[in-house]
Amino acid sequence: MSEFFAARPLAAFFQRGLLYLAVVLSFLAIGHSAPAQAQQYRFTDVTVEGNQRIEGDTILAFSGIERGETVGAGELNAAYQRILDSGLFEKVEMDPQGSRLVIRVTELPTINRIAFEGNDKLKSEDLSSFIQSKTRQVFSPSQAEQDAAVIAEAYAQNGRISARVTPKVIRRSDNRVDLVFEIFEGSAIEIKRISFSGNRVYSDRRLRRAIQSKQAGLLRALISSDTFVEDRITFDRQVLTDFYNARGYVDFRVTGVNAELSRERDGYFVTFTVEEGQQFSFGEITTVSEYDGVEAAPYHDTLKLKSGKTYSPSLVENAIARMERLGVEEGVDFLRVEPRVTRNDRDLTLDVEFLLQRGPRVFVERIDIEGNTTTLDRVIRRQFDTAEGDPFNPRAIRQAAERIRALRFFSNVDVNAREGSRPDQVVIETEVEETTTGSVSVGASFSTNSGLGLQFGLSERNFMGRGQKLDFSILGTADTINYNIGFVEPAFLGRDVAFGLDFAFREANEDDNTQFDTAIGVFRPSLTFPTGDNGRLSLFYNGRYEDMSDFNGISTVLAAEAAEGGLWTSALGYEYSYDTRRTGLDPNSGVLLSFGQEFAGLGGDNDYIKTSARAVGQTMVLSEEVTLRAIAEAGAIHFTSGSSRFINRFNSQVMRGFEPNGMGPVENGEHLGGDYFAVVKFEAEFPLGLPEEYGITGGAFYDIGSMWGVDDRGATVNSEGFEPRHVVGLSVFWTSPFGPLRMDFSNVLKSEPGDIDQNFNLTVQTDF
């Protein structure tokens, strides 16, 4: 029995081995014989069925199969794939029938209509511009999915990260479809809190004012900048870096940004982690030249940098620009100015050495402009100081790009340089994306002086793509109505000269402070051109018609002036302004100076010289939490023949605490205006301790000024001489969704007989 059980397993083993060997040999035989048995086709006739719009020859070209050509199954499958990959067919069948091949296709439908459903925050017109699918084109399912993703991203950029977009197809006759994007917008995810970690010099309040993202305020439904947008947060990182660098903190870094979604998933808490570092000042400033034949001294004299001044990269860039501009004026080609900065950690200064050297001999071959569908090429091209054939200057190209962005005609501007047809030439490629430049505004205003006012306006910053500005507005209150039309050509005759043309007409009825009606028409062409980095000079002609009528008072002076009726004025004038706020040389302070004169007597009925001056200085103190501002204004009008009228004299509200036309010379209780005025205003604006998202700040002011001088025409006039008035007060500012609102609470410390005090003044204006 033991021998039986020992032999049985061995026999079974040999039987199974023989069986496995037979199976393997069978597979090997099949494998060797397969190539010989592969099916081959030779079609003498190839026909296409099912096509309606697309020609059969086109489909045959896609397949790549020629009549009479021998093809295998693999080549037939490849032909099928090529036809399908053309993106024109919904279904493809390859049907070999002996020597005949039938290709059956089902064409993709064409798009009959594209619609958007469920969108409220974004307009259908805007969404249409985002997508690639278009009506009367072949419908592509993959493209529709991509378009849905693009629309969802557009909503995410508007703070609605939960938005969902689903493309749906509605079949129509004649192989057409309606493409409908069903949109669930979701709610905007707002920023509940923005905080900073690591900041010591500047408070969270000050840094929040610097960045673009904002916290949700009281009326958050009307605010767009409080929604969470990732790209905006990324931009804010750079804004913070620029903010600190401009104030001398050259080691500043944003080490991280943490955006934490709230438990209710309805808002983010954003925290910027920063390292401020130390504040540096300018140390020794020198200029050396390695350019043969170029002396350093004249270039060094152009510098406005001073040792001890807070270091700012923008000041260095401006100094380099002035040096290179001098090089162009002197005919020095390829001048490059390289700043070499030496750090002195012991005294926290940065020595700057400006090295004058010869740059590579590279010329601008041409300037290419793309993407400007509305704006003319010349509007963009004139922002370049460089022309074809000029030496290539990278800094000048960067500055041109900034000027193009400053036009605000484009949503995106990219300016890059690439190698031209030769190694010593470059091509400047400028790509822009147009944006809307026109607007229609309906506004309202209110003040305790003029009451409720309504405004309608039309504005176009890029009229007919020529870079011109056109404005029209109507403003009306209970007693006045103003019509204004303005036109500006910024590059008159191709020069850096702005030509302006203004028309205005104003009618005012009798009110509490005037006992007559007035009508004023103005025609004012002007030419304005730069006189330096910060200066502007404007030359103008002023043609005016002025009428006083329907006098209903007891002043003999005003009665005589109103009796003269309508008079014409023809005058030439100029106005010079100097504004350091334009270049932002000092981020904490700025100065505006203006002075102008008007000479009447070139025809017309009036003959006078009118002079006006204004100076504004502003600075920020206490870690930029408090803004201090000083304003000085003065005006004088002198008639060389005849005498002034109320309508010519200064009669507006020149200082707080008094009604418009509520101070100055008075006859029989009626104000006459003044030939002269002067006022100095000091004010401070500071936080009140409220969360800054409320947009409420406080202020305090002190004004001192006077209005005097009038041709009394033999009447008894009070307060005719210079008598200064003194006013102190408090202000409340609110950046409300209804417009900037200001409340002034005034206390007149010193006035003159006949003055009309105004203890409270409210102004608010908005556009909607």
What confidence score (pLDDT) does residue 586 get? 63
Average pLDDT, the chain: 86
What confidence score (pLDDT) does residue 14 get? 38
- For residues 420 and 399, is the Cβ–Cβ distance under 8 A? no
Region 167-173 average pLDDT: 90
Topology match between the domains 40-107 and 363-434: yes
- For residues 745 and 731, is the Cβ–Cβ distance under 8 A? yes
Fold of the domain spanning 40-107: Ubiquitin-like (UB roll) (3.10.20)
pTM of the predicted protein model? 0.71
Q: Over 50: is that where the pLDDT of 709 sits?
A: yes
- Residues 575-618: pLDDT tens digits? 999 998 755 456 677 899 999 999 999 999 999 999 999 999 99
- For residues 742 and 733, is the Cβ–Cβ distance under 8 A? yes
What confidence score (pLDDT) does residue 501 get? 97
Q: How many CB atoms lie within 10 A of CB 558?
A: 26
* Both tokens assigned to 296: 């350093």
457 vs 50: CA distance, rounded Å:
58
Q: What is the DSSP letter of 493?
A: G
CA nearest 462: which of 404, 407, 527, 525?
Answer: 407
Q: Over 90: is that where the pLDDT of 481 sits?
A: yes
**Side by side, which strands form the sheet with 89-97?**
45-49, 100-107, 89-97
CATH class of residue range 190-275:
alpha beta
CATH class of residue range 363-434:
alpha beta
Region 741-747 average pLDDT: 92
C-alpha separations of 539 from 503, 524, 636, 638, 658 in Å: 16, 10, 19, 20, 33
Q: Over 80: is that where the pLDDT of 736 sits?
A: no
What confidence score (pLDDT) does residue 448 get? 62
Q: How many CB atoms lie within 10 A of CB 285?
A: 18
Region 251-257 average pLDDT: 95
HSE at residue 40, side-chain half, CA atoms within 13 A, is 8
HSE at residue 71, side-chain half, CA atoms within 13 A, is 23
Q: Over 60: is that where the pLDDT of 766 sits?
A: no
620 vs 565: CA distance, rounded Å:
50
Q: How many CB atoms lie within 10 A of CB 304?
A: 11
734 vs 736: CA distance, rounded Å:
5
Q: Over 80: is that where the pLDDT of 335 sits?
A: yes
DSSP letters along 672-700, please? --BSEEEEEEEEEEEE-SS-GGG-EEEEE
* Both tokens assigned to 186: 């979701």
- Residues 640-666: pLDDT tens digits? 988 899 999 999 889 999 988 899 999
**Kind and range of the H or E element at 311?**
none
Long-range contacts: 502-508, Cβ < 8 Å, 24+? 502/526, 506/480, 506/481, 506/482, 507/480, 507/481, 508/479, 508/480
- Residues 439-455: pLDDT tens digits? 887 766 666 666 677 88
353 vs 402: CA distance, rounded Å:
26
H runs (alpha helix) in 247-350? 297-300, 313-329
Angle in degrees, CA 57, 62, 67, rounded to 5 = 60
Fold of the domain spanning 281-358: Ubiquitin-like (UB roll) (3.10.20)
More confident residue, 93 or 745: 745
155 vs 147: CA distance, rounded Å:
13
* Both tokens assigned to 660: 């418009």
Q: Over 90: is that where the pLDDT of 489 sits?
A: yes
494 CB burial (10 A radius; 0-12, 13-18, 19+): exposed
Region 252-266 average pLDDT: 85
Q: Over 90: is that where the pLDDT of 768 sits?
A: no
CA nearest 206: which of 622, 630, 591?
Answer: 622
If pLDDT is split at 50, 70 and 90, which confidence band does 438 have? confident
What confidence score (pLDDT) does residue 445 get? 63
Fold of the domain spanning 438-767: Porin (2.40.160)
Encode burial over 707-721: b for 16+ CB neighbours within 10 A, e otherwise. Answer: bbbbbeeebebebbe
Residues 6+ apart with CB under 8 A from 183: 116, 117, 118, 119, 151, 155, 163, 164, 165
Q: Over 50: is that where the pLDDT of 243 sits?
A: yes
If pLDDT is split at 50, 70 and 90, which confidence band does 672 have? very high
What confidence score (pLDDT) does residue 694 get? 78
Can you give the residue ranges of every domain in the chain?
1-37, 40-107, 110-184, 190-275, 281-358, 363-434, 438-767
Please say whether the dihedral angle defined by the alpha carbons of residues 406, 410, 414 and 419, taken in this order, is positive or negative.
negative
| CATH for the 110-184 domain, from 3.40.50.1820, 3.40.50.970, 3.40.50.720, 3.10.20.310 | 3.10.20.310
* Both tokens assigned to 761: 């003044």
443 vs 690: CA distance, rounded Å:
29
* Both tokens assigned to 109: 């439908």
- Residues 401-427: pLDDT tens digits? 999 998 999 989 999 999 999 989 999
Helix (H, G, I), strand (E, B) or coil at 588: coil
Mark residue 668 as left, alpha or beta (left: phi above 0; alpha: psi -120 to 50; beta: remaining).
left
Region 425-439 average pLDDT: 92
